[in-house]
Structure 1
Amino acid sequence: MSATDLDPWGEDRPLTVRNWAADIVLGLLPIALSLPAGDRLFGVAALVGVAVAIRRRWLMTSVSLLTVAGLWQVIAGDINYGADAFYCVVTFRLGADRDRATRRIGLAFCAVVIAGATAWTALQPTVGGGEWWRRVVTAAIMAGLSALVVVGGWLTGYVRYQRRQVIRERVGLELQSAEERRLRDLVTQQQQRIAIASDMHDVVAHSWAVVAAQADGARYLLRTDPERAEEALSVIGETARAAMTDIRGLLSRLRDDGSDAPLTLDQPDALIQRLRDAGVSLEVHRHGTPSADPQLTTTASRVLTESLTNALKHGDLRSPVQVREDWTDGYRLTVTNAAGARPVGSSGHGLRGMRERVSAAGGTMCAESIDAGTRWQVDVFIPSEVSS
């Protein structure tokens, strides 16, 4: 909606009964002022009164009635000064109209009225005692009085239009600013929901993958190696408690209660140790020093978590999972594992969440089968400066 479409004053709404009553009362005034003149100029006053009464509903019809009233006075050779004073009411409406063409028509009408009144006065043989210079002076006075009435009314209306236009522009800017803030809030909320959904997937997928792997191991070790089975059950308990803590934190963020507790998945060393405790053979190679940028380290931790979770869920764990992290130039991660019986899909929630995180950080990611489908590899690169 543009500023010119705004209507805080209700100008575009249909006239109420009160509006019509006020216009009719105003239209009766030129008639009342013409009563002392008798029937001779009553028709002119009636035309002017009707024009005034309908100006807000049928503006061009109102202008036509005033034109007929003016011609009537020229033909009759007499002027109804009381009724003519109300020409300013209609020209005010013309000057205040939001349509430029209507305002220009109003100026043209004012020019016609002034020219007609001036010419009529100058051509009257009895004006000024018949002397030409007196007729010129009288015509000039008539032109001034006519301009005072019609142009004065138009200018007053135009000033009101300009003032209201400034208010419309101001209101329009405020509405536009409010709409932009609303859209920004919606985008921010959507981004927060996506981030929470990704975090929730990381917590649930990783934790329950570890729990499932440990539970399977504990079942087989329960009779043959009770001590290792007990260790597996201990890992299950620790993993479940950490997951519950993380989920409570995510629910707090979802409710927007001001909580922003970090997730336990943000600790790569604890993650690797947890997977090793789950029986995953990991070959980890690290180069460089992790960045001090918390956003970069958080994104790197999430990507590493999802990559290892996929290896745990879908890979053949009889072969070691190879992990290479390089912090010398941004963050580079390569995770390679032997392909299992259930290959990783290219459109799962985990991979989609990884791509969203890497893309938000201004990085690139590639996850694909290699070596004729015998292995699965994830390659990630995130530059040093993480975009906000």
Structure 2
Amino acid sequence: MAEQERVSDVWADPSVTWPRLDILTAALFALVCVPLHASVGLAAELAIVVLALALAVRRRSWRLMSALAVAAGAIQLVAGQTAYFADLAYAPLFFTIGRHADRRVRLAGLVVAALASVTGALNVVFNPDRAVQAGTGLTLAVSILATTALAAVICMGGWAAGFIRWQNQQAIQARIDAQLDAVERRRLAELYDLEQERRRIATDMHDVVAHSWAVVAAQADGARYSLAQNPQRVEQSLDIIAATARTAIGDLRALVARLRDPAATTAHAGEGTAYGLPSAGTLRQADLVAQMRASGMSLDMTELGEPASSALLTLTAHRLLAESLTNALKHGDLSETVVVQQDWRDGYRLRVINTVGERSDLGTGHGLLGMAERAAVAGGRATSRRDGDHWIVDVDIPRDPS
């Protein structure tokens, strides 16, 4: 049973099956054609055997096949013995050349096919049979034309059929390649979208955690200092801490939902929500400013124009302002006023200026990188730099992405 399966597998292999079928076909060709041309002569029978060998090796070596085919034709031409029925074998031989992958081989095969057609006519001229010899010049001309046409049909027709087969294979391969390219492009696009989503989630996670814990830390410090002298201030700080923690929990839940099911991410323009963060619509800039002022920050706010109707732009503006003020709260000198300038008249522009100390690592955090990426998503740019004792954040989104 195992031996039968092994033999079946061998015959199922195209690299083994086709040569064996060619050998079988060549053997049948020789067995049929040799007796049919026994009366023609020994040279014709020898040419048939050579043609059979050419058929047997045509899928193995086109060079050997071509050499054997030329040899068979030469034998017939020199001996003056034409195996007319057996010469039909030239059709599959030229078919093999016509479908060859190398353009030079195909062109050479076309030239040889044309020469073979002419050679058939020359064979009639130099080796006419008895009927032609006994006929008139018209009979000779008709015989030449008929032989040339038949040779052209066999040789050039076989080559043309092979060439058409090659073209069809190329067209099929081109379609397959195009489909594979489309699949690969879709795969790369999906990977790119996943990477972009991962970056957005990482940015949102940083914004949520950094902002929330900066506010919580500032309020906790203030509450500790006011514990004995100002209990009312402590109660206010605890209220802010609780509200900030609840907001952060809601944001983190939304982020976890995005991680589990990215398709669940929605955008509610009425709430100013995007990227699946519902708190982004409810935490208006007024709430943000109130949080910062309650944390001990002195703000000088200037706003020009009306906020945009685009949910993406309003969320981007809120996040960029929140990150800028969070950095000022964490690293800045809160004894100095933080200057905020917003301009909605042509897209969105933001400038935040706060006083900093002697620290030199203010421009190396993930928050600044996230600000640049978030602004780029909205079609703009965000830059941060140190200018003496001041840290300056500039945001420029020149067009409304909606």
TM-score calculated relative to the size of structure 2:
0.87
Q: Which residue of 1 aligns with 2:21?
A: 22
Q: Which residue of 1 aligns with 2:279?
A: 264
Deviations 1:248-292 (A, max 9, x none): 111222232513333424522221112222222222121211011
Sequence identity percentage: 39
Select 1:319's aligned residue among 336, 345, 353. Answer: 336
Judge conservation of contact 2:19–2:60 (CA < 8 Å) in 1.
no
Unaligned runs of 5+ in 1: 1-13
5 Å-filtered alignment, 1:1-388, equals 15-36=14-35, 37-38=37-38, 40=42, 41-124=44-127, 126-127=129-130, 128-130=132-134, 131-255=136-260, 256-260=262-266, 261-266=276-281, 267-343=284-360, 345-370=362-387, 373-386=388-401
Describe the SS at the equivalent of 2:227. helix
Deviation at 1:343, TM superposition (A): 4.8
Q: Which residue of 1 aligns with 2:9?
A: none
Determine the C-alpha separation between the residues in 2 that align with 1:198 and 1:345.
17
Q: Which moved more, 1:348-357 or 1:123-132?
A: 123-132
Determine the C-alpha separation between the residues in 1 that align with 2:312 and 2:84.
81
Deviations 1:312-336 (A, max 9, x none): 0100111121211121222121111
Q: Which moved more, 1:40-49 or 1:56-65?
A: 40-49
Judge conservation of contact 1:283–1:323 (CA < 8 Å) in 2.
yes
Q: Which moved more, 1:158-167 or 1:67-76?
A: 158-167
Deviation at 1:68, TM superposition (A): 0.5
Q: Which moved more, 1:307-316 or 1:268-277?
A: 268-277
Describe the SS at the equivalent of 1:362. coil
Q: How has the CA–CA distance of structure 1 residues 301 and 166 changed in structure 2, closer, same or farther, with 3 Å as cutoff?
A: same
Q: How has the CA–CA distance of structure 1 residues 263 and 183 changed in structure 2, closer, same or farther, with 3 Å as cutoff?
A: same
Deviation at 1:168, TM superposition (A): 2.2
Q: Which moved more, 1:200-209 or 1:183-192?
A: 183-192
Describe the SS at the equivalent of 1:56. coil
Q: Which moved more, 1:85-94 or 1:217-226?
A: 217-226
Deviations 1:275-311 (A, max 9, x none): 2222222221212110111121111111101100100
Q: Which residue of 1 aligns with 2:3?
A: none
Moved over 4 A (4+): none
Q: How many residue pairs are counted as aligned between the two chains?
A: 372
